[in-house]
Structures are given as structure tokens and as C-alpha cells.
Amino acid sequence: MSFEIKEKDLLARIGRLKTRSGTVETPLLFPVINPVTQLVPTRRMREEFGFEALITNAYLLKKHIGTPLKQDGLHDFLDFEGTIMTDSGAYQILVYGDVEVTPKEIVEFQETIGSDIATILDIPTGWKVTEEHAGKTVDETWKRAKAFFKQKTREDILWVGPVQGGRHLDLVAKSARQMGKLPFEIHALGSPTEVMERYRFDVLVDMVMTAKMNLPVEKPLHLFGAGHPFMLALAVALGCDLFDSAAYALYAKQGRYMTETGTSRLNELEYFQCTCPKCVKSSPEELSEMPQEKVQMFLAEHNLYVTMVELKRIKQAIKDGRLWEHMQMRAHSHPSLLSALKKLKKFEEHIEKHDASVKNSGFFQFDFMDLTRPEVVRYRKKLAGRYVPPKSPILLLAPQTKMKPFHKSVEFRERTRNLKSALESKMNAIHLCFYAAPFGVVPYELDEIYPLSQNETVTPPDSDTRNYVAVQIAEYISRVHCKTVILLDDPENWGEIIQKKVQAICKSGKIKFRYVNANKNPKITSKRLDAILQHLEQQA
């Protein structure tokens, strides 16, 4: 098995997964193929819609097809030349309580029919279960996983080791650590379907991140039952590489039209909201007059198109280093997704650790939620842990400017025109820093370093962002060895929060404080600055 990572952003990866039937690119979605009744012919899945892989249910195949499938093989039976993954029937256990097959029998069947990616028969945890029951599902899945390696006979199949535990995160962590020690080529998070059906994406974040933090980072992670376009960006950003979904067909049978931001009912639409080959040739009114089977086919095909388009958008966002922005736009399509995005604050250290440190572009900062993005977290850690500020007696704090880098802007030169000679001749005595969203404090000498000048932010910042910057300033002042702080304030954009915070920290540290309204003629002239320096020298 070969899984090669080509691009990274957040915990997302564009990768190449080598299977027996060919190499596929991740993030990868497997449309679920019903072995008994299928709306869209499987051959068209690859040729027209661009899906490189499919997934079907080995248990249902064994139960309804059986011996003929063993003779023809899975690829011939499904008429599909790409990669085929098989599930084991665990979902049927979740729904019906049991299946009429043993773990060993389902392994043998998947080997016989020639699955490219196959799954052991685990025991799904489910949603509303006690911790005791969840623990039993974890233990039984672990027991079956260990036994599996004595049962399998083929080495050319990629086997999936599921992680169970449901919303009981301690058990998810335990299951992930156990499964991660076994030589599965792929891991999967089990029991997420009911969580997603209830729109508990905040719980899903906890489950996925707990699994990711305890699984081998080099292995792909499959998220069972996740395939709606509006939540794919979140799942990919959390580090899920593989997905499967029957939503395209199930929604079509219910008369539901998928978009990248949600789902609409066909009978409520006046206009189709995309330009896929289906939608440009028809209207909701025309479609409603067609026979039911044609309506279902139309919706299934549209749903496949919109899903594939969203996957491509996500991949391009990863390549551009802009997945955070894309994820945030999608999160605003539903309150539950926005709640999940806020949950990333809990895992910001882990995400920062695995995120690419340099990217192909700058980024946009919209509001306080962007304070969790890795670039901001990484800078805060490095400024506190690696940067050694100069031992200057005066700390001069200047507000951000519209142009970047700040020190080259006309706005900054205008604000400091009366200090020009002092800034040029007494740089050893003056430690110049800018305060800016979303980073907090930006020392002069770091002003041009990525990503400090490679971002665009909203002005004036929202209140949470202003508070964050104020706290970062206070923490920075507490670390530097200065005797006087001069604050060039921009009250139009920052209000009183910066002045009050700086004044308070100076008072507590017995540091002299000088306030200047940066939008008016500065009262601190070069002459006045010389007097301050002279006074400090006399004190020393």
C-alpha cells in the first residue's frame, strides 16, 4: 500500500492512494452503489461524473447475489474498472441489531470477489448508548480486528480498521490507539451517521479529532456515511481523506435537490441553482411534469455533479492554502456547522502542529473565529517562545495601517512625521512594534515576514478580535524590559480597549505611559522623545 501526500492545508491532504485497480486521489468520495437497485449506471459514474471509486455492501452482495458474484468477480458484476471498496455489513448491525454472517465469512467473501478496499465486520457503537455498551463495542471490535490478521489470505487488498466509541471520547481514543497498533492500511471512524443525521457537527468534530490524534498520521482516514457537499470542507479540514455516501440517491428518491450549502425540495424550487449538464437544460416546473423515475434519475445525477464540483473546490482550496476560508464560508450555511467551526478552538494546537508552515497565498481574516487558524496560533507561539525583543528603554506601539508592510506605508510615515529624526537616530533606544489584527503585536523587524504582511483583515475589527489584540499587547509588554511605553492610538478603529489595556499593564508594572492620538498631530515630538530618553539615562 502506498499513500503519498502531495499537498497539505490544516489537517487536509491531497494524496495519492495506490490500490490494486489503480491509483486514486484524495480527498476521495465513494458513491454508494446499491447492489439490488441502482439509479445511475455504475459505468457512467467514472466516465461522466469523474468518480474514481465506488463502494458497495459486501453483506448485501453475499445475501442477495452469492455464488454468481464469486464466479464473475466484483468489477465485472458492477461493470466498473476503477477502485471498488466494500463495507462489511456493520451498518446493518446498527439498524437491525445483527447480520447473518460471521466476521470470518465476510472476510473470505470480500477476498473471493476481489475488493480493492475491504472492511472487517466491526460492531458499531451507535448514538444513544451507555458508556458500558459503547465499551463493549470497542472491545469486541478490537477482538475481531486482532483475529482478522490470522484469517486473511490476500496481500493485495487494502483493509480498513474501524474506530468505535461513538460520542464517548475516552473510548474513541482507546479504540484509535488499539487499532493504530495493528497493520491496517486505512482507518475509519465508525458510528458517525446518526451524529450527522442529527446535525451534531460539534460532536463530530470531537469524534474525528479524538480519532486523528490517536491514529498514525500517515494512514488515510475514512469517514463513513459523510457525503453531503455542505459539510465536506469541514470533514476534510479535520483530516478525513475518504468518504462514502448514498445521499445522492436517497435524496433523489425523496425529491430533494442538493446544493453546496444545503438541500431544497424540488416542489419548492422555482429555479435550479447550478449549471450542471442536467440543470441548464431544464427547470423545476418542467421536471415536475416528468414521470417519477425520470425525476429521480435527474436529481441523482445533479446530486452527483454538485458533490464532485465541491470536492474539486476543496482540493483547489488546499492547493492554494485557502481551505480555512472555504470552510468558513460553508460553515455559515447552517448554524450547526458554525457551532462546529467554533469547536476547532479546542484543537488549535494540534491543527497548527500539522498544518503547512508556508503556503502559496495570504489569507483573509473576517472575524474572531479566524483567531483559531494555524497561522495566528503559530505566530503567537513563536513570538512568545523564540523571539527575543531588544533591551530598549522605550516601547513604541503603532496601529496597523491599510498598506502592508506597515512600516513602509504612507499612513505610518504621516503618523510619525514629528518623530522621524528620533526614529532614525535612536533606534537602539526605541523598540518599534505595530499592533494589528489578527496577530496582536508585530515587531518592526518581523513586519515583512510571512504571513504578517500577507493577509487582509476587516477594519474596524470586531470586539472579540480587539480584545484578543489587547491581551496580546499586555502579554508582550510584560515580557519586554522597557521603562516607557508610547502608544500611538487609533481610537476610530480600536475604541478605548487598547488604551485601557496598555495603561493598566503599565500601571501594574510601574512603567511610564505616554498616549498619542495617531489620527491627530502627535504630541510626542522628536524633542520630547529626546527629553524622555535623557531622563531615562539619568535614572539609569
Tens digit of each residue's pLDDT (9 = 90 or more) over 382-404 = 999 999 999 888 999 999 999 99
Model pLDDT, residue 529: 61
> Using an 8 Å Cβ cutoff, are 437 and 365 in contact?
yes
Same domain assignment for residues 75 and 193: yes
What would the mean pLDDT of 97-121 be, rounded to a whole number?
92
Would residue 449 count as lying in a domain? yes
Same domain assignment for residues 340 and 407: no
Last residue in a domain, options 351, 373, 390: 351
Same domain assignment for residues 275 and 373: no
Q: Which three cell numbers stand for residue 227?
A: 457525503
- Kindly tell me if the per-residue pLDDT of 504 is higher than 50: yes
Would residue 359 count as lying in a domain? no
Q: How many domains is the chain partitioned into structurally?
A: 2
Same domain assignment for residues 417 and 472: yes
What would the mean pLDDT of 310-334 be, rounded to a whole number?
96
Expressed as residue numbers, the domain containing 335 is 2-351
Q: Which residue has the cell 452482495?
A: 61
| Alpha carbons 61 and 121: distance in angstroms, whole number | 14
Q: What's the pLDDT tens digit per position in 176-206?
A: 999 999 999 999 998 888 899 899 999 999 9
CA dihedral of residues 399, 404, 405, 407 (deg, nearest 10): -50
Backbone φ and ψ for 263, nearest 5 degrees, come out as -140, 140
Would residue 358 count as lying in a domain? no
The lowest-confidence range among 68-72, 102-106, 164-168, 305-309 is: 68-72
Say how many C-beta atoms besides its own lie within 10 A of residue 70's C-beta: 16
Would residue 73 count as lying in a domain? yes
Q: Which three cell numbers stand for residue 98?
A: 445483527
| Alpha carbons 373 and 345: distance in angstroms, whole number | 9
Q: What's the pLDDT tens digit per position in 214-245?
A: 999 999 999 998 879 999 999 999 999 999 99
Q: What whole-number percentage of the chain has pLDDT above 70?
A: 94
Chain-centre distance for alpha carbon 156 = 31
DSSP-derived secondary structure letter, 267: G
Tell me which of 10 and 67 has the higher pLDDT.
Answer: 10
Same domain assignment for residues 337 and 457: no
| Alpha carbons 242 and 355: distance in angstroms, whole number | 19
- Kindly tell me if the per-residue pLDDT of 419 is higher than 80: no
Same domain assignment for residues 103 and 247: yes
Model pLDDT, residue 540: 45
Would residue 432 count as lying in a domain? yes
CB < 8 Å & 24+ apart, contacts of 40-46: 40/248, 40/249, 40/297, 40/300, 40/301, 40/304, 41/79, 42/78, 42/79, 42/80, 43/79, 43/80, 45/80, 45/304, 46/80, 46/81, 46/82
What would the mean pLDDT of 83-93 be, rounded to a whole number?
89
Same domain assignment for residues 342 and 368: no
The lowest-confidence range among 242-246, 462-466, 528-532 is: 528-532
Told to judge if 367 belongs to the known catalytic residues of this protein, a careful annotator would answer: no
Model pLDDT, residue 194: 86
What would the mean pLDDT of 308-337 be, rounded to a whole number?
96
Amino acid, res. 536: L
Same domain assignment for residues 298 and 385: no
Q: Are strands 28-33 and 53-57 parallel, antiparallel or unpaired?
A: parallel
Q: Are strands 12-19 and 22-26 parallel, antiparallel or unpaired?
A: antiparallel
| Alpha carbons 257 and 270: distance in angstroms, whole number | 12
* CATH number, residue 179: 3.20.20.105
Model pLDDT, residue 310: 97
Same domain assignment for residues 395 and 343: no
Q: What are the angstrom distances between the C-alpha of 193 and each of 92, 204, 243, 244? A: 12, 10, 12, 11
Average pLDDT, the chain: 91
Last residue in a domain, options 351, 386, 404: 351
| Alpha carbons 297 and 306: distance in angstroms, whole number | 14
Would residue 450 count as lying in a domain? yes
pLDDT range class, residue 118, cuts 50, 70, 90: very high
Q: What are the angstrom distances between the C-alpha of 76 and each of 33, 158, 320, 337? A: 14, 19, 39, 40
Q: Which residue has the cell 488515510?
A: 220
Residue among 87, 241, 355, 370 flagged as catalytic: 87
Last residue in a domain, options 351, 372, 396: 351
Model pLDDT, residue 413: 84
* CATH number, residue 519: 3.40.50.10630
Same domain assignment for residues 307 and 413: no
Same domain assignment for residues 179 and 294: yes
Q: What's the pLDDT tens digit per position in 25-66?
A: 999 999 999 888 889 999 999 999 999 999 999 999 998 888
Same domain assignment for residues 196 and 329: yes
| Alpha carbons 243 and 175: distance in angstroms, whole number | 20
Would residue 357 count as lying in a domain? no
Would residue 511 count as lying in a domain? yes
Secondary structure (3-state) at 134: helix
Secondary structure (3-state) at 228: coil
